[in-house]
Structure formats: C-alpha cells, structure tokens
C-alpha cells in the first residue's frame, strides 16, 4: 500500500517539477517579452528592477519652426547626481565651487535620494558651457553635466503639433515589422501622429547604473552611458510655423477671451501655415479628457456671411453682378421688414460691403435656377469644400496627408436641398447646411489675394535626417480642380476692400490699421441655445497688405451670444503685431 502511495506521490512531484520547468521555459523563451494580456515585457522589467537610470533624451525626433527653433521641448545643460554619492568620497567642494553654491546645499540635495536626480528639480540649475567642461573634467562617478531634453510644460500649437503617449499594443500594430521597446513613445494626434513613422525613436539615451536589492551599486560606482548611434534616424520635422508669431497669436486669443475658437494665419506667397490657435486648450495633466485636444481650426463650422464671398464669385462669373439691379436691403430674406439693418435699396457692391442678407439670398436663388450645383461648384473653386491641407506621395506612402484630422466641408446634404429655393436662400448667407473649416476660409482668402491661384496648405516644409541633410521636401502644390478667373479674383479683391472702406461696411472697424486690410465678416446662427438665447459664430476673414498681400488671416469665436465675443479686436491686434514684427525684421 505504502509503495503505491509513494509511487503516486513521486508522480505528482515529477509532474509538478515538469509543470514548473514548462512554466519557466514559457516565461524565458516564449513569453518573455509579451507576458499576460497586458503584454508585460519581463526582460525589460527585470533589467529595470536591477538598475536605476536617468533618461537624457527620449530618442524621438525633434520638431522645429521655420527658423529652426524647438517647438515641443528644450535642451537644457543640467547636473545629474546619483544616490551612491552618499556612500563614497567625492570632491563635492570642487563641484560646489564650479556651480557657485554652498557645498552644504549640494550635499543636502543628495542626502536622502534613492534615485538619480537633476539638480534643482523641476526648476533645474542651468549650466554654462565652461561649467559643463569643468565638472566633467573632474571625472567624478555619479556626477554628470549633460544636455538633457526636457518637454515644455505648455508647448505652442498643441492641437496642431499633437501629443505623445506610451502604448505598446498600438506601437506594434502600427509597426509590425519593427522591433519596438515596450516604453516606446508614439504620436497619438496631430503632426506627431501623421509623421510618427519619421519621428519614432529607436531607443532612449540614458545614464544607467546597476543596483542590488537595497539600492547599492552591483559593480562599484560605475555608470553606463547608453545611446543607439544612428546618423539618419529619428528624423526632424521643419514646420512652416513661426514660433514668435504663434506665441503672440496664442497670447492674443487668450487676452481677448476666446474660449472656443481660434486663429489661422497663412503666408500668401508660399501658402504655408504661420500660426494656428485652437481653444479650448488641452488639459495639461490629461490631454485626452474633454474636447481640448480637438483642433477646431480643422473642423467644420457654421460660417455665416463669409460664405457670401462664394455667391459673389459665382454672380460675377455668371453675369448677375453686371446689371444695374438694386436689392431691397430693408427686408429680411423672408420678406419681412428688417428693423435692425434698414439699408434701403443697394446695388451689388454696396450689398456686399454692408452684408445685405436679402441680396445674397436672391442671388443664390438665381444661381440655383441656372444650375442647382453652381453654388457648390464655386465653393469648391474657392477651396471651401474638399481639404486644403497638403496631400501627396511621400516615398512609399501614397496619398500622405499632413493634416489627416482636417474635415472636408460641405454646402448641401441632399439633392432635394440643392433644388429647394428656400434652402438656396439660406445657403446664400452661409446658413442651413453650410459647414467649412477656418483653415479652408483662410485658404479662400489667400486664393483671392493671389489672383485665383488655388494651392494646398503646408504645415511642414521638410523632413530632415538626423545629420541635418534633407530627406524630403514638401513643395508648393496646386489644389486640384477648377478655380476662379483672375478677373473674378480682382473683382473680389475690390469687394473685400470695400467692406473696410465703405462708411457702413461691416469691416470699417479696420480702416485705420497700419496694413490695409481686405476681408469679410460673418455672424452665423448656430441653432444652439444657452439660457434661452441663441449662440452665434463670429468670424472675420481677410488678407493684407491689400496692395501686396503677405498674410491671410481668420479669427473666429464660436458659440457666443450675438452681442458678445466679437473677433474684430483680435483680428486688429494680430494685424498690428504683424506690422511691427515685419518692421523689426526689415
């Protein structure tokens, strides 16, 4: 009996040993880098438990403005101190003298630390070049003067540039043929996402030392510098943004109380993005909470009377603007008396300058009679439908889009709406189903300013290899499809300028600016209400200087009451700043 039990017990023990060995093989050979449903990398975690490290550079490519200023981070010369300095003799008095501080202060900084620190903490002590050289010449183990890459607490153009995150599963899905570390940082929105394949790092630059279970050095006071040398990757993005202009635009948007809305500024000559501001801002601690990460300048919005520019273009090219016809601008589009805007009888040019709703509702119906698709056609000719952002082939990536989050815009939803006179009337004043992005509106103004040349908008001009040589250059490209005739563009230029110069023009507010402005205002009903009051979208879109256009600018404030949230002061201050900025540059 006892022999049988002994045999059974032995079998259980052998089976247990076999299962244990199988489990160890599973952990070490098959699932060492992908353990459990949480995809834990046991190899990395075991190394992490046996070491302490300071990341000097996260390994991701840099993003620069057009003047090669860093956009997302800064590089700061700092002092790194390791915990084992508590247990060795080192020339702290010499280091303190180089720093110009009391040696007791330096010793106090490392008195109770258990991990490497950057001296000064969140406000690091910034070293000069001679201090870096002097400290490193001492060759003190555990004391390093290095240039560290530090993310900006509040980076500019946050929604446009995008945010980063650590997502091992997404990284492996995005790069199935590439060996990705579990803590690899990838782009999850904006340019960081669309250009992620060029920016993604191949490894972090670190200072590492190995420790035992209680934190003591395993191999003496020996710190290892780790860096994956690659002269080509990660790449660097050179944006078309101007950092100083971008920072001023953000400052002005906040100063003028833009809670939901923003600014788009284009360089007319190159059709490049100089500044883009979207509010609300992302939550700094959790950017994915709320709506702050959404770039409203790339989202469809109700545009209001700015759309009358499209109707004007179509009217000019289809013979509706040449006649001596007068429009009754003392009435609303439903025929009722307009007690607020009682302008009387106005011709075509006067109607545009004063933004007469009835005139453009009537012209929209006339255009519909000629061809139900005519209004949409001219919206497309002026780049309000479709997408304005740069799109093309980049190496093996066909149809690469710099701004993949950009929405296409629309005029009608159904064919029955196109043929309905009431829909046409409301469409003529930018209401009903008309939706366009602020970027598209800015591009329309730039198109008119250039005499009808319709181009794609660039946010990035170049991708550079790590050694600063050019990998890919984004050239100016035309937007596909027909555009307006040069003669039509000239007529629109006159109309947009008259909005400013007419004594009753909706843009007369800008008459005294240092740059002569041409543009169009818009106040759109949203159909949304707060406290039983309807909310509106306030716009002003234009270009300047009028005689030699350099800038196309859109300022928009969304979901505000009709008598509040004007964008005129914001637009005006941007024009004044750009004038002074250009004067300093000259």
What CATH number does residue 78 fall under?
3.90.1310.10
349 and 211 together in one domain: no
Predicted confidence at residue 248, as pLDDT, reads 98
66 and 113 together in one domain: no
143 and 229 together in one domain: no
432 and 316 together in one domain: yes
> Is the pLDDT confidence value at 44 over 50?
no
Sorting pLDDT into bands at 50, 70 and 90, what band is 41?
Answer: very low
What's 224's domain CATH number? 3.90.1310
Number of domains in the chain: 3
Question: Catalytic residue among 305, 383, 461, 572, which?
Answer: 305
What is the C-alpha to C-alpha distance for residues 215 and 221, in angstroms, rounded to an integer? 12
**Residue at 539 is within a domain:** yes
107 and 168 together in one domain: no
521 and 374 together in one domain: yes
> Is the pLDDT confidence value at 578 over 90?
yes
366 and 426 together in one domain: yes
Query: Considering 112, 129, 151, which residue would you say is the last residue of a domain?
Result: 151
What's 559's domain CATH number? 3.40.710.10
160 and 145 together in one domain: no
Token output for 415? 């064919």
139 and 271 together in one domain: no
**Residue at 24 is within a domain:** no
> Is the pLDDT confidence value at 394 over 80?
yes
Q: Are 507 and 352 in contact (CB under 8 A)?
A: no
Query: Considering 151, 179, 200, which residue would you say is the last residue of a domain?
Result: 151
406 and 531 together in one domain: yes
- Containing structural domain, residue 208: 58-70+153-239
Predicted confidence at residue 290, as pLDDT, reads 67
How many CB atoms lie under 10 A from the CB of residue 203?
Answer: 16
Task: Give 577 or 397, the one with higher predicted confidence.
Answer: 577
pLDDT > 90 fraction of the chain, expressed in percent and rounded: 66
228 and 146 together in one domain: no
Sorting pLDDT into bands at 50, 70 and 90, what band is 174?
Answer: confident
Sorting pLDDT into bands at 50, 70 and 90, what band is 300?
Answer: very high
**Residue at 3 is within a domain:** no
DSSP state of 574: H
The verdict on whether 473 is a catalytic residue reads: no
Predicted confidence at residue 222, as pLDDT, reads 61
Q: What is the mean pLDDT of residues 385-414?
A: 95
Task: Look over the chain and give the mean of its residue pLDDT values, rounded to a whole number.
Answer: 88
Predicted confidence at residue 170, as pLDDT, reads 82
3-state secondary structure string across 168-235: HHHHHHHCCCCCCCCCCEEECCHHHHHCHHHHCCCCCEEEEEEECCCCCECCCCCCEEECCCCCCCCC
Sorting pLDDT into bands at 50, 70 and 90, what band is 32?
Answer: very low
Q: Are 403 and 159 in contact (CB under 8 A)?
A: no
Q: What is the mean pLDDT of residues 206-216?
A: 66
Q: Are 470 and 464 in contact (CB under 8 A)?
A: yes
Predicted confidence at residue 261, as pLDDT, reads 97
Query: Considering 151, 181, 210, which residue would you say is the last residue of a domain?
Result: 151
Q: What is the mean pLDDT of residues 465-475?
A: 92
Sorting pLDDT into bands at 50, 70 and 90, what band is 373?
Answer: very high
335 and 226 together in one domain: no
**Residue at 441 is within a domain:** yes
Q: Which of 275-284, 474-483, 550-559 has the lowest mean pLDDT?
A: 275-284
Q: 121 Cβ partners below 8 Å, 6+ apart?
A: none
Cα 302 from chain centre: 21
């Amino acid at each position: 009996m006892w022999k049988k039990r002994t045999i059974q017990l032995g079998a259980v023990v052998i089976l247990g040993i076999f299962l244990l060995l199988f489990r160890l093989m599973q952990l070490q050979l098959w699932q060492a880098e992908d353990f459990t449903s949480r995809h834990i990398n046991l190899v990395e975690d075991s190394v992490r438990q046996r070491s302490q490290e300071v990341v000097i550079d996260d390994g991701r490519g840099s993003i620069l403005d057009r003047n090669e200023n860093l956009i997302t981070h800064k590089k700061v010369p700092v002092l790194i101190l390791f915990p084992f300095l508590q247990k060795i003799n080192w020339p702290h008095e010499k280091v303190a003298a180089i720093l110009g501080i009391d040696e007791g202060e330096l010793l106090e900084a490392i008195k109770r630390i258990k991990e490497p620190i950057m001296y000064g903490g969140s406000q690091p002590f910034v070293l000069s070049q001679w201090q870096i050289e002097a400290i490193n010449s001492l060759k003190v183990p555990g004391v390093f003067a290095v240039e560290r890459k530090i993310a900006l607490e509040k980076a500019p153009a946050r929604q446009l540039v995008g945010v980063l995150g650590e997502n091992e599963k997404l990284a492996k899905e995005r790069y199935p043929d590439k060996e990705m570390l579990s803590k690899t940082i990838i782009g999850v929105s904006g340019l960081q996402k669309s250009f992620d394949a060029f920016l993604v790092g191949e490894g972090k630059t670190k200072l590492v030392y190995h420790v035992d279970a209680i934190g003591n050095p395993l191999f003496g006071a020996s710190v290892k510098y780790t860096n994956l040398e690659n002269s080509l990757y990660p790449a660097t993005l050179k944006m078309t943004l101007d950092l100083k202009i971008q920072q001023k635009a953000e400052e002005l948007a906040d100063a003028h109380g833009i809670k939901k809305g923003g600014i788009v500024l284009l360089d007319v000559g190159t059709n490049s993005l100089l500044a883009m501001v979207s509010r609300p801002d992302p939550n700094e601690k959790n950017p994915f909470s709320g709506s702050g990460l959404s770039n409203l300048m790339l989202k469809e919005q109700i545009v209001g009377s700015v759309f009358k520019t499209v109707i004007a273009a179509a009217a000019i090219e289809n013979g509706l603007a040449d006649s001596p016809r007068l429009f009754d601008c003392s009435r609303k589009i439903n025929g009722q008396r307009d007690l607020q805007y009682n302008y009387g009888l106005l011709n075509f040019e006067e109607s545009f300058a004063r933004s007469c709703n009835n005139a453009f509702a009537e012209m929209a119906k006339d255009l519909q009679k000629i061809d139900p698709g005519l209004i949409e056609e001219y919206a497309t000719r002026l780049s309000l439908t479709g997408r304005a952002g740069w799109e093309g082939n980049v190496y093996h990536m066909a149809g690469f889009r710099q701004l993949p989050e950009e929405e296409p815009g629309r005029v009608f939803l159904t064919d029955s709406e196109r043929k309905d006179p009431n829909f046409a009337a409301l469409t003529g004043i930018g209401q009903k189903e008309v939706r366009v992005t602020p970027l598209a509106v800015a591009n329309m103004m730039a198109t008119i300013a250039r005499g009808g040349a319709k181009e794609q908008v660039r946010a990035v001009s170049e991708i550079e290899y790590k050694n600063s040589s050019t990998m890919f250059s984004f050239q100016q490209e035309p937007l596909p499809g027909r555009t307006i005739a040069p003669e039509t563009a000239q007529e629109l230029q006159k109309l947009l300028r008259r909005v400013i110069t007419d004594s009753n023009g909706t843009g007369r507010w800008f008459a005294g600016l240092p740059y002569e402005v041409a543009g169009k205002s818009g106040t759109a009903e949203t159909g949304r209400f707060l406290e039983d009051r309807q909310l509106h979208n306030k716009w002003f879109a234009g270009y300047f200087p009028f005689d030699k256009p350099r800038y196309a600018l859109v300022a928009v404030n969304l979901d505000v009451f009709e008598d509040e949230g004007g964008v005129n002061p914001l637009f005006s201050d941007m024009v004044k700043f750009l004038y002074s900025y250009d004067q300093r540059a000259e």
